[in-house]
Structure 1
Amino acid sequence: MGALKSLKQEYAIIDSIFLQFCASHGIFSVEDFLVHDVYMLVASTEQLANSDRLKQGINQILSIIETYHQPWMNGLVLLEDREQNKHCLSTGCESFDMLLQGGLHEGHVTELVGPSSSGKTQVCFQFASNVAMKLGGVVFLDSGNSFSPTRMQQIVTHISGSAENKINGILQQAMRNIECHAVFDVYALLNVLHQQKLKLKSQTGYQVRLIIVDSISSLIAPILGGSNAHGHALMVSVGYLLKELADRHNIAVVV
């Protein structure tokens, strides 16, 4: 989405005073704006003489984010990209692979839905273990402190079916391929996703095959409700970022 100053010509409310105010809080781009706590930003305007105008500027940025979408592309280009570059990652479970028509699709966001304690996290462990063992890097974003290395060890041991003397090597490789981040609010989630975006852009050989967010609802639910434009804008931004990472870098994403 770019630097805030790039919006100055198009939107009168985003003037040099507003940009100065944002800069004083370390905000120079739309991405910086999103990972900042906007409620605190609004509160910081209260003692300022131009408080109302600054709040209008904040609302303007939120409106821009809410209506922002990826430019339309030629359908044939999208189809060719899908057929040539996007593949399926096996989940390690034949029933899941059949259900998902081959496995977890690269370039797609797959949403796993179910009531509390129905086993969603265990399914995520299964996906992560198989991909980390056989295919490459996994980024596991843990919002509920539920990541269990012990459970992962059990799954890897079960999937590998190797002789006991080989299991340790396979387990170490699988666990080395899993990058786990604790994300306890939507700002931490956005921050980690932006870090991954920069890593994927700048590091050759940095290969992530799967991103798991367990669970996204616990991060999104607290910021929604009523006419909360900020919460909706944050939700849109998370969805856009996940889809962008999936499509641009041929990553399978599970939430």
Structure 2
Amino acid sequence: MPRLDSPGLFSLTPKILADFAAEGILSVEDFLLAHNPNLDESRTEARKQAVVDILGYIDRQSCGFRTSARMLQEIEARGERYLPTGCESLDKLLEGGLREGTVTELVGGSSSGKTQVCMQVAASVAYRCRAMVGFVDTCHSFSATRLSHMLGGLVGGRDAVQRRVGAADEIGDAMKSIMHYSIFDIFPMLSFLNQLHTTLSVQVQSMEEKVMRLLIVDCASSVISPILGGIPGHALMVSMGIILKKLALENHLAVLITNHTVGGEGGHPKPALGETWKAMPSVRLLLARDFSSNLCHATVMKHTSMACNRHAAFQITRTGLRPVF
């Protein structure tokens, strides 16, 4: 934590700093642990101003953290918005789809369907919402051909006349709305995410008609796992998680990420990246696939507003995900 004599806190004169030091308060962390607003009521105006400035400094450094009251006001002002996944059973499980402003994580083993779900969601948002989609590919999993087939399945759901006329143009327009990025290392990833945050902030402020509403990272663990094992690697992992949450919250963006599984107790698979990463997504779904029937199951492992262990089923077909009820 910063010291109290950090640049910019001009009200902290040598005398005020000496008073704080006498109370064992040398850093912002010490202040947070020791501060009781009632204790400052009888202090001098200089002391009161110093406390106000420290609290303001903490607020500026809090990276967009909000009180629950402020968050509720913002939600009521803009309304809860959900992006359709393109699969009815998944939308029903998530009570509407991917919620903007949050991070959703898909956890599963190899070939469990994580990438298929990501591409179906990308196709659905680009076509149905007419919005921009960012698709960050970290393991060569993205397929433009597969994406076009899924878009064809969505366009094919309309009436016969519309299917015959203009379908190819609609697919082409949706494909142009999905921006593909290949990133295979944590440092380019952090650089990209920071630059994207700056770009999206400008778009939101300028009220551009077509902005990015969905960011997909497939797969987060591919760039994080190689650098784990020490304090620097852990710090980089936390940095990536924090900026993903900040991107979602401050730009009203739905973020969808994928994560591998590793062996857990009793041989049962568990999400990779450990307990610290568990705090990053607001929603975590576990995907499992039965290859004999090609049936996939999605189970809620974590959700901020619903009970865990709820299930949804779907099949992976040539033209997308087919819900199973």
TM-score exceeds 0.5: yes
- Whole-angstrom CA distance in 2 between matches of 1:95 and 1:10: 53
| Map of 2:67 onto structure 1 | 74
Q: 1:72 to 1:149 in 2, by over 3 A?
A: closer
Asked whether the 8 Å contact 2:64–2:246 carries over to 1, the reply is no
Compute the displacement of 1:233 (Å): 1.0
- Whole-angstrom CA distance in 2 between matches of 1:110 and 1:144: 19
2:96 aligned residue (98, 102, 117): 102
Q: Deviation string for 1:159-185 (max 9, x for gaps)? A: 112413322111111111011100001
| Map of 1:247 onto structure 2 | 249
Superposed counterparts of 1:134-173, under 5 Å: 134-135=128-129, 136-161=131-156, 162=158, 163-173=163-173
Compute the displacement of 1:105 (Å): 0.4
- Whole-angstrom CA distance in 1 between matches of 2:133 and 2:75: 22
Compute the displacement of 1:71 (Å): 6.1
In structure 1, what residue type is equivalent to 2:103? V
Compute the displacement of 1:80 (Å): 2.2
Asked whether the 8 Å contact 2:106–2:114 carries over to 1, the reply is yes
Q: 1:83 to 1:116 in 2, by over 3 A?
A: farther
Q: What secondary structure is seen at the aligned counterpart in 2 of 1:91?
A: coil
- Whole-angstrom CA distance in 2 between matches of 1:152 and 1:87: 24
In structure 2, what residue type is equivalent to 1:249? N
Q: What secondary structure is seen at the aligned counterpart in 1 of 2:179?
A: strand
2:83 aligned residue (65, 69, 89): 89
In structure 2, what residue type is equivalent to 1:242? L
2:239 aligned residue (230, 233, 237): 237
In structure 2, what residue type is equivalent to 1:207? V
The structure richer in helix per residue is: 1
Between the aligned residues of both structures, percent identity stands at: 42
Compute the displacement of 1:202 (Å): 2.7
Superposed counterparts of 1:170-249, under 5 Å: 170-203=170-203, 204=206, 205=208, 207-225=211-229, 228-249=230-251
What TM-score do the two structures reach when normalised by structure 2?
A: 0.56
- Whole-angstrom CA distance in 2 between matches of 1:246 and 1:103: 15
Q: What secondary structure is seen at the aligned counterpart in 2 of 1:184?
A: coil
Q: 1:221 to 1:114 in 2, by over 3 A?
A: same
Q: 1:153 to 1:69 in 2, by over 3 A?
A: same
| Map of 2:38 onto structure 1 | none
Superposed counterparts of 1:51-66, under 5 Å: none
Alignment: residue pair count: 192
Q: Deviation string for 1:205-246 (max 9, x for gaps)? A: 161110000000111111112xx1111111111111111110
- Whole-angstrom CA distance in 1 between matches of 2:192 and 2:181: 8
Does structure 1 residue 131 correspond to structure 2 residue 133?
no
Compute the displacement of 1:81 (Å): 1.7
Compute the displacement of 1:150 (Å): 0.4
Q: 1:80 to 1:180 in 2, by over 3 A?
A: same
Compute the displacement of 1:69 (Å): 5.4
| Map of 2:57 onto structure 1 | none
Unaligned runs of 5+ in 1: 1-5, 12-67
In structure 2, what residue type is equivalent to 1:139? G
Q: Which runs of 4+ in 1 moved over 6 A?
A: none
Q: 1:88 to 1:71 in 2, by over 3 A?
A: closer
Q: 1:97 to 1:84 in 2, by over 3 A?
A: farther
**Rg larger for:** 2
- Whole-angstrom CA distance in 2 between matches of 1:69 and 1:220: 24
- Whole-angstrom CA distance in 2 between matches of 1:164 and 1:231: 53
Q: What secondary structure is seen at the aligned counterpart in 2 of 1:212?
A: strand
Superposed counterparts of 1:111-130, under 5 Å: 111-130=105-124
Q: 1:164 to 1:240 in 2, by over 3 A?
A: same
In structure 1, what residue type is equivalent to 2:149? Q
Q: 1:92 to 1:197 in 2, by over 3 A?
A: same
In structure 1, what residue type is equivalent to 2:135? F
The structure richer in strand per residue is: 2
